[in-house]
Chains A and B, each alone.
Chain A
């Protein structure tokens, strides 16, 4: 879609993002933050007061996709989301994140409880799936049903466990908060969690799309060059058809994301984009691994890294829970047939 804001197009971001992400190889988290922030990639959707570009989500999609395909080892999605979420309540933190001066992450599963104590808030509980938490200065946690709190990572009582999970380039941590006290203004109001979740759906779908696309390209390349029985693997219809199915899956993700960004798109379209990405993304990366045969099972071929990343993203968004909830909500909204004339 040739969409432009101030002469910028999302496609321009794809190229910048791919370059910056490639340059991040071998960098520490802080060096990555500086590089990505310097290129303006961390504040694509944050407003200009905090140093962002104030663009729509359509511009964050190619950035997230490039992070997936380049296997970026930095919590880019979390930084994009937090830069925007915090721009009004905590502009200083937002500014630091957008510029790359500090790093933050989000714990995607479970919630903690909050108790007021004088001017402070005490947080307790155990939360999980916080990518790259060991490198973060700030940690966003869910509080109760739908509020959130921003916790300085070095506060006493914050204990990291892990890393756990399959993703090697973005290790996930479990975090225990034992009576951790934070300033009152770091407790963000009810409603911030669902907002974050909803924005995260599309970015995750984009990251999965990037990874899945990289897998398909590798599979195509391998099928065209590896020879068995005297000809290239791609000569065999079983392989051609498998790759064609993966191409359909990839284009389905792409179109569903595009659709979720424009027009009257809402929760349904966002859910569909993420759920399509979660199911096709896993199938594409697993299929690419299969096409590589024994090679696919080795550490040397990066497909396993993409598969790991996609599985982590699928779990962070709780794809199976979301699918069930979507079905239940859809069913609830439909009235029983009336026996009368329609």
Chain B
């Protein structure tokens, strides 16, 4: 059965269940509907194509498992953040492919909800959830990475039209996206944080050119995007021309704290997969029993529990009406470094497998080589480690910078 044909068996969207009953319903749906070949811990693993991913994510949405907290008037399910957390815990527990539209669902969507016009909400939000529009995030530039306030891509207004010129880089998924959440300058470069605006740029507009970049994991997931006299309607400008920086910072705080909330549970799935694969080989099983590896695996367990604690605290804060603010940097710093330590440990353990490789060790190697390579980016994207440390020092510890 392909996902295209799949009809949700249990409609989780309609279920008015709470707590554990809701969790079981979600678990049941995911386990029944997720094709086995999509699971990267399965011997049958074969990553879904873009079309399959789109169909799968659209099916998840129909079943009530994305756009959880968005109002129903914009295609959401009007559920609570705690239910969103439950869904993420269940998603994490299955070695499911990452969303191809997480930027739409977790960054662009929330920002449009916060600062978009009614017309924009109606036009953009359902299209994101139904997977008719995939979004990318156009913030970074060749000369403006960590120093985002130095960006130079310029938007000049002519009546109801904005004319955009400049270049973005490291734009994940731009080649498969229909819209770009673009941060561009409307004032002089010297103004730094002022005079920046956000736009929802259609990527098929004349003058947009996307070039893919091959990354160390062999994928072509991120891109350079060039804007050459691209005309964008005022209808696609998000918020006021001066609101860009504040909105961008909000996007980044979301990205750091609650984006891919399933991370901790996915991390746990990876740890369990590593152990279960090692157990099929006598040499590796012996190493697991070794007290050196027992200690390192336990350190990973503690890292995972701490990550869950950070995520659940963030959810508590949000549910109680608070905002995450700079504290998103704490969670980001922790997960990125903890996951890198674990990826190193996995590579080290699996490198000791005797030849010929046992079939489950082969499956694990393929997965963990990918995880190791991809993890090298985790301390770079969404703000590098050094930038997170700077944010914690400036905004949480409020350490003086003065002489």
Contacts and interface: CB of A to CB of B under 8 A. Distances in A.
B384 to A, nearest CB: 12
A279 B334 CA distance: 14
A331 B275 contact: yes
Contact of A230 (B288, B401, B403): B403
Given A235-B400, A323-B295, A276 B302 contact: yes
Interface residues of B, number: 57
Given A231-B403, A324-B295, A342 B42 contact: yes
B363 to A, nearest CB: 8
A201 interface: no
A342 B310 contact: no
Given A241-B386, A339-B43, A258 B309 contact: yes
B63 to A, nearest CB: 21
Interface string B293-309: 11111110110011011
Given A235-B400, A235-B402, A244 B393 contact: yes
Contacts of A258: 309, 313
Given A234-B401, A328-B289, A244 B392 contact: yes
Given A1-B316, A248-B334, A336-B276, A276 B298 contact: no
Contacts of B400: 224, 232, 234-235
B179 to A, nearest CB: 35
A100 B332 CA distance: 46
Contacts of B293: 327
Interface stretch (A24-32, A112-120, A267-275): A267-275
A6 interface: no
Interface in B105-154: none
Contacts of A272: 301-302, 305-306, 309
Contacts of A271: 302
Contacts of A328: 289, 291, 294
B283 to A, nearest CB: 13
Interface in B320-364: 320, 327, 330, 333-334, 359-360, 363-364
Interface string B264-292: 00000000110111011000010011010
A327 B389 contact: no
Please indicate which of the listed interface residues B389, B394, B403 has the most CB atoms of chain A within 10 Å of its own CB. Answer: B389
B295 A220 contact: no
Interface string B90-108: 0000000000000000000
Contacts of B188: none
Interface residues of A, number: 47
A300 interface: no
Contacts of A340: 43
Contacts of B299: 323
B333 to A, nearest CB: 6
Closest 7 CB pairs of A and B: A327-B294, A327-B298, A272-B305, A255-B309, A336-B279, A244-B392, A240-B393
16 contacts: A223-B399, A232-B400, A240-B390, A241-B386, A244-B388, A244-B393, A255-B309, A271-B302, A276-B305, A323-B295, A330-B297, A330-B301, A336-B280, A337-B364, A341-B36, A342-B44
Interface of B: 36, 39, 41-44, 272-273, 275-277, 279-280, 285, 288-289, 291, 293-299, 301-302, 305-306, 308-310, 312-313, 316, 320, 327, 330, 333-334, 359-360, 363-364, 386, 388-390, 392-394, 396-397, 399-403
Interface of A: 1-2, 220, 223-224, 230-232, 234-235, 237, 240-241, 243-245, 247-248, 251-252, 255-256, 258-259, 268-269, 271-272, 275-276, 279, 320, 323-324, 326-328, 330-331, 334-337, 339-342
